[in-house]
Amino acid sequence: MLDQATYLENRHLEKMMIQQKNDTPKALILGATGGIGREVTHQLSKAGWLINALKRGAYHPTENDNITWFQGDALNQADVEAAAQGCCVILHGVNPPGYKHWEDLVLPMLNNTIAVAKKIGACIILPGTVYNYGPDAFPLLNELSLQNPVTKKGQIRVEMERRLQDFSEQGGQVIIVRAGDFFGPNAANNWFSQGLIKPNKPVKNIKNPSTTNVGHQWAYLPDVAATMLKLIETRHTLDAFATFHMSGFWDQDGTQMAKAIRRVVEKHTRKAPNISVFPWWLMPLIAPFNETLREMMEMKYLWQQPIRMNNSKLLAQLGEEPTTPIDQAVENTLKGLGCLP
């Protein structure tokens, strides 16, 4: 049996551990199984945050003690509120399944996030997109560039940010991190994995959607998540409505990403895959039967002209932008997508 002194010491340590856990910051991740949500979950957890994660359908307990899973839907405000208890940050990284029915689902989901953030006093983090901009803002974008989108999806994104700005003017806090086309080891629904290569298959042919000699901006998801983490941890020094642009990987002539994929594949297989032009001509024939392809076709204009983001504001805030060398980022991505032996 423990003596009285040892018992009291153990009780004191137990109380300290409980108090420490209660003081640990907690974040709600909406879209925790998606590309950006999964990366932010991983990096916040690694940094010592507690994570509440909302997931549609059945879920399985995680081995990570920092993560608590909640079953629910971002379209249900009660589900979001139940999962958000004790959270000081909400990452709104959720999208409709398969990116379908955007016009019907995206804004109601955001409304729920805003309503819950108001109740609990949480900061909202949003992954931004270039869809917000039209040709009048190209080729170099900064945080003050005019947002005159030319697509339905772009108009919805602008409305999302307008509602978030309203929230910030009512006492809330918002951080928006805008980056190029996402790619990463846990992201299967993007141009990298749906256009250039095919997940879970050896890379024998790379279909490049870029127009010749037209630059394109990419964003490696672990770098985006690392940037968000740094901004979240300095959120008390930011404006109520804070937007930041990332530079990411700038493919200056539209061929560098495809060439990086080829280098990495050749390194692992000693065979260099072919690089061909993405079959844009075929898409209008298939798109009527595939809603995801219709959404992709709407963004074709982003591949026909150079669009680059100025990250000066981000550098002024953080001092540097988290950046992984492109070949390493591509190798990690191809391994995660099951494309390398």
pLDDT at 18 over 60: no
> Which pLDDT score, from 0 to 100, does residue 7 have?
40
pLDDT at 182 over 50: yes
pLDDT at 20 over 80: no
Q: How much is the mean pLDDT over the chain?
A: 89
- The helix (H) or strand (E) run that includes residue 123 is strand 123-128
Q: Which two tokens stand for residue 48?
A: 């010592």
Asked which of 62-66, 119-123, 197-201, 206-210 is least confident by mean pLDDT, the reply is: 62-66
Contact 180, 130 (CB under 8 A): yes
**Which of 127, 155, 133 has the alpha carbon at shortest distance from 306?**
133
Contact 191, 277 (CB under 8 A): no
Contact 254, 216 (CB under 8 A): yes
Q: pTM of the prediction? A: 0.90
pLDDT at 309 over 50: yes
d(CA 126, CA 85): 19
Asked which of 161-175, 178-192, 286-300 is least confident by mean pLDDT, the reply is: 286-300
> Which pLDDT score, from 0 to 100, does residue 17 have?
43
d(CA 32, CA 42): 9
pLDDT at 107 over 70: yes
> Which pLDDT score, from 0 to 100, does residue 58 have?
60
Asked which of 104-113, 168-177, 200-209, 294-303 is least confident by mean pLDDT, the reply is: 294-303
> Which pLDDT score, from 0 to 100, does residue 62 have?
53
> Which pLDDT score, from 0 to 100, does residue 98 have?
59
pLDDT at 15 over 50: no
> Which pLDDT score, from 0 to 100, does residue 96 have?
77
In sequence order, what DSSP letters do the residues of 127-164 get, joined into one string? EE-GGG--GGG-SEE-TTS----SSHHHHHHHHHHHHH
- pLDDT interval class at 103 (50, 70, 90): confident
Contact 182, 332 (CB under 8 A): no
Q: Which residues contact 327 (CB under 8 A, 6 or more apart)?
A: 260, 263, 264
pLDDT in tens, 144-160: 999 999 998 899 999 99
Angle between helices 326-336 and 256-269 (to 10 degrees): 60
- The helix (H) or strand (E) run that includes residue 241 is strand 241-245
pLDDT at 291 over 70: no
Contact 213, 251 (CB under 8 A): no
Burial of 37 (0-12, 13-18, 19+ CB in 10 A): buried
Asked which of 202-211, 272-281, 291-300, 323-332 is least confident by mean pLDDT, the reply is: 291-300
H helix and E strand count, the chain = 12, 14
Q: Which two tokens stand for residue 190?
A: 């993007």
Contact 317, 244 (CB under 8 A): yes
> Which pLDDT score, from 0 to 100, does residue 56 have?
82
pLDDT at 8 over 80: no
Q: Which residues contact 220 (CB under 8 A, 6 or more apart)?
A: 183, 184, 248, 249, 324, 329, 333
Question: Which whole number is the average pLDDT over 222-240?
Answer: 97
- pLDDT interval class at 288 (50, 70, 90): confident
pLDDT at 22 over 60: no
Q: What's the sign of the alpha-carbon dihedral 253, 292, 33, 79?
A: positive
In sequence order, what DSSP letters do the residues of 263-322 get, joined into one string? HHHHHHHS-PPEEEE--GGGHHHHGGG-HHHHHHHHTGGGGSS--EE--HHHHHHHSS--
Rg over alpha carbons for the chain, rounded to the nearest Å, is 22
